[in-house]
Chains A and B, each alone.
Chain A
Amino acid sequence: MQDLSHKEVVLRTVGLSKRFGKRWAAKDLNIEVHRGDVFCFLGPNGAGKSTTIRMILTLLMPTAGSIEIFGINLYKNRHAVLSQVCGIVEKPDFYLYLSAYKNLEILGSMTRSVRKEEIMEVLDVVGLKSRAFEKVKTFSHGMKQRLGIAQALLTEPELIILDEPTAGLDPQGMKEVRGLIKKLASEKEMTIFLSSHLLSEVELVATRMAVINRGELIAQGSVSDLLDKEPVEYSIQVSPLDSAIELLRKLPWVEVLSAEDGKIELRVEPGHASELNRFLVSNHIEVLSFYPHRTLEDFFLKITEGTSEI
């Protein structure tokens, strides 16, 4: 398990709750995001992701609980905190009658004075420099999404909050945005908090994650830690098959589920994956393929107990 005790907590929510009428959209959320994380907030549609993000960005007032960003209470020091935070909530909407450049100039200057070079630089980062002076109404959804990231980057915030940043994008657009997120985290050392219901996306970019369902937090930690807590099913191709099955049945941490067509399906207790491979090789079993069925999707479906609408 990764030791996070030394890492600075950039965002902390304590008992964060929001009620709409009688329904709790978020209930007693205790989330910690550490500096440098690409923290993914995962949950099915309607789980409370957007509500939580809206509270973190002061669009919704919490019913209870508190939010600290950089160790400062958000609602008591809103200006100071939000000077270092930026984000996109749901889809990136802009002033369609203004150019990309003018949109960024207006939005950026609400935080601090921005120079023309800075605007052009972020437009370059997201690949929109050549369209800088065109009206946003001529942009595709993907271009608006990239412009949304550009406005989030413009004032060089320490924490970027992105609500479903790849929603509505085509596969190429999704890949570009994912690449950009990774680049921001690694090259610019920004902390990124993003929500998504796309599990494949989370696996590709996240370092840590939290899972929310029906407004309640049901898991939180590094992606690998969360997945390693559960037994994992493997599909292996070995030779000779019969000897391998005989050997595997002797192991207390392995359960052989089936064996057919030269392939063995088995379930392995957490933390024994590499040991299994070594064991087979040392017993002169040739391992032709070793394929884990452990996926974030399995984990997610298991802990949300089939309530997911993804």
Chain B
Amino acid sequence: MKLFWLETYKTFSRWRTYISFGFIALIVIMTEVVMKLSADEILYRMMRSFQKDFLIFGNVLNGWFITAFIMNSLHIHIPFFITLVAGDIVSSEATAGTMRLLLIRPPSRSKIITAKYLTTLFYTTGLVIFLALICITLGLLLFGHGDLMMNYQSKLRIVFIPEAEVPLRMLLAFTAAVWSMTVVASLAFLFSTLAENSIGPIIGTMAVVIVFLVLGNFPFDFFRMLSPYLFTTYMIFWQRFLDDPIPWQEIARSALILGLHNIGLFSIAFVVFTRKDIKS
């Protein structure tokens, strides 16, 4: 536990750690302000496909809707911000030469790597919670509240979630988002144990995430067959908590697959780190 707090202290003593928080705040504030200024246009675009068939009352463009919209839009940005720390946490010690100082201390390598991994997960969780808080708080302040309308265009469905249920659904959705992002963190962490500079793990992780996302979204049979084997396919399982009814089985399966990825990636990082020779 002591090692975990030491790692956390070091991580949060670096200004680099706060870049992600700063950019997320900037993106969310800019998006929500622009959306507020363009509210009529957005509402028109949202409704035009089904306004002939339905009569919709109430505040549709509310803070909850805006939060879900931003979450949908940031599935590339958040992984990038996560890799800034996850890809750096081990490799930066090698670059700076401080790895030598750490590893000649009594705590074993297994304890040190576990503490670093827990710190990575802590940072990832903190980043997603920060995103949730800023999205929801600003969204509710600027757009007010109401029922959450989710338009699943690919399934030709519109789902309305009563406002009373939305906070719990959002809590579950953000918890799932944290779980999804831990896989990106684990991948960046693994690359960080393999590299001796921070750029490689950051670029490497983003390359994997982007390539997997692209492959998973090609509308061809071959890529559809490939899709179940790409972890990015399961990373959007947080959206299922905003569906009705909630597909628990699908959620459990996605969560399990992502969890197995976490275990696998951390196990490889653990073995690499505990056995490697420190030559730098």
Contact = CB atoms under 8 A, between A and B. Distances in A.
B275 A61 contact: yes
A82 B111 CA distance: 15
Contacts of A96: 96
B7 to A, nearest CB: 9
A86 B106 CA distance: 9
Contacts of A106: 6, 9-10
A204 interface: no
B103 A151 contact: no
A90 B98 CA distance: 11
B17 to A, nearest CB: 11
A89 B98 contact: no
Nearest to B96: A93
Contacts of B275: 61
B232 to A, nearest CB: 34
B107 A97 contact: no
Interface string A101-145: 010001101110000000000000000000000000000000000
A61 B277 contact: yes
Interface residues of A, number: 31
A178 interface: no
A94 B98 contact: yes
B101 A107 contact: yes
A148 to B, nearest CB: 9
B104 A58 contact: yes
B4 to A, nearest CB: 12
Given A60-B278, A95-B10, A107 B100 contact: no
Contact of A57 (B9, B10, B104, B107): B104
A97 B106 contact: no
A59 B13 contact: no
A82 to B, nearest CB: 4
Given A106-B6, A110-B3, A110-B106, A59 B101 contact: no
B108 interface: yes
A47 to B, nearest CB: 16
B102 interface: yes
Given A95-B96, A97-B14, A60 B277 contact: yes
Given A79-B106, A79-B107, A106-B10, A94 B101 contact: yes
B96 A151 contact: no
Given A95-B10, A106-B9, A111 B105 contact: yes
B14 A82 contact: no
A109 B4 CA distance: 12
Nearest to A84: B106
A57 B103 CA distance: 8
B2 interface: yes
Nearest to A56: B104
B97 interface: yes
B104 A87 contact: yes
A54 B104 CA distance: 9
9 contacts: A61-B275, A92-B101, A93-B100, A93-B101, A107-B101, A109-B6, A110-B107, A111-B106, A151-B101
Contact of A59 (B2, B100, B106): B100
A263 interface: no
A78 interface: yes
Contacts of B106: 78-80, 82-83, 110-111
A216 B101 CA distance: 27
B279 interface: yes
Given A79-B107, A91-B97, A93-B100, A109 B9 contact: no
Contacts of A85: 104
Given A60-B277, A97-B13, A110 B97 contact: no
A114 to B, nearest CB: 12
A89 B6 contact: no
Contacts of A93: 96-98, 100-101
Nearest to A112: B106
Nearest to A161: B104
A59 B6 contact: no
B101 A98 contact: no
B119 to A, nearest CB: 13
Contacts of A82: 104-106
Contacts of A58: 103-104
B277 A89 contact: no
A83 B101 CA distance: 14
Contacts of B14: 97
Given A78-B108, A79-B108, A93-B97, A98 B277 contact: no
Contacts of B6: 106, 109-110
A98 B12 CA distance: 11
B87 to A, nearest CB: 18
A61 B105 CA distance: 16
A157 to B, nearest CB: 11
A256 B107 CA distance: 61
A110 B104 CA distance: 10
Interface string B241-280: 0000000000000000000000000000000000101110
Given A79-B108, A109-B6, A98 B13 contact: yes
